[in-house]
Amino acid sequence: MYLEKRPKIYHKQIMNNNFKIEKLEVFVLKDRDTLGEYAAKRAAEKIKQIASEKTAVNIIFAAAPSQNEFLECLLADTTIPWGHINAFHMDEYLGLSAGAPQSFGSFLNERLFSHVPFKSVNLINGHTEDVESECMRYTSLLQNFLPDIVFMGIGENTHLAFNDPPVADFKDPETIKKVTLDEACRQQQVNDGCFQSLNEVPRYALTLTIPALMQASYIFCMVPGKLKAGAIAHTLSEPISERYPSTILRTHENAILFVDQESYTI
């Protein structure tokens, strides 16, 4: 268990809708559209900076409705050097039928990957019959292409990727692993409109682990909407522990959290 630690700087100390909780920088925007636009602007600046310093930029993308406005604005930015970006994603259901729209790979292909000429797109194979081999394959990819940036959200139960509280491990030795999704996580997929009922939501998935995400040089975390208000309160106020996985963001040297007035209600 990660050593529990309470924040030194509290969320009520806010100036111009921008403040810090320990190392985590937080921006409170007025609505989802403004959040997506501003986060995409900051992300594009960082992509271009890294591209000017390296031959390639390695980025891990989240796939969730919370990312829609951000991805739309990012896609609209014609100054981004897409041809320099190696793209990855952070989790995938196991057992969905091929081409299922709920697949995270399908989500990102539809909204981003199929629209611009990436240097490479590297998807997790959720249809594999050999989970161990797939984990080894993706681990090798991420070891060869160490992530520069992660674009992520936070789940209603404070998960990062599919690291739900029961399986989150801040010192996980793995890069990617098979997990059992807890009920709160599966219910979120219904709340997001991805599935019509809880019974339709897969029980298993592959996910990048907390250390795999945290090793990125920069993290941009976009979390709009009233359904995420509780998760944001926990992220900013609770002790740092696997009970609330997203609290680990407060330890990262270059993490930014973007919320709107619905998700930030403290």
Q: pLDDT tens digit string along 102-157?
A: 789 999 999 999 999 999 999 999 988 899 999 999 999 999 999 999 999 999 99
Reading the block at residue 164, the tokens are 């739900």
DSSP label at 26? E
Is 183 within the bounds of a domain?
A: yes
Q: Which domain holds residue 187?
A: 26-77+84-223+239-260
Is 9 within the bounds of a domain?
A: no
Residue 213: how many other CB atoms lie within 10 Å: 24
Please give the pLDDT value at position 145: 98
pLDDT exceeding 70 applies to what percent of the chain?
94
Is 173 within the bounds of a domain?
A: yes
Computed over every residue of the chain, the mean pLDDT equals 91
Is 232 within the bounds of a domain?
A: no
Is 206 within the bounds of a domain?
A: yes
Indicate the number of domains in the chain: 1
Is 89 within the bounds of a domain?
A: yes
The mean per-residue pLDDT over the stretch 199-204 comes to 79
List the CATH number of the domain containing 167: 3.40.50.1360
Decide if 241 contacts 210 (C-beta within 8 A): no
Decide if 75 contacts 116 (C-beta within 8 A): yes
Sign of the Cα torsion 118, 119, 125, 127 reads positive
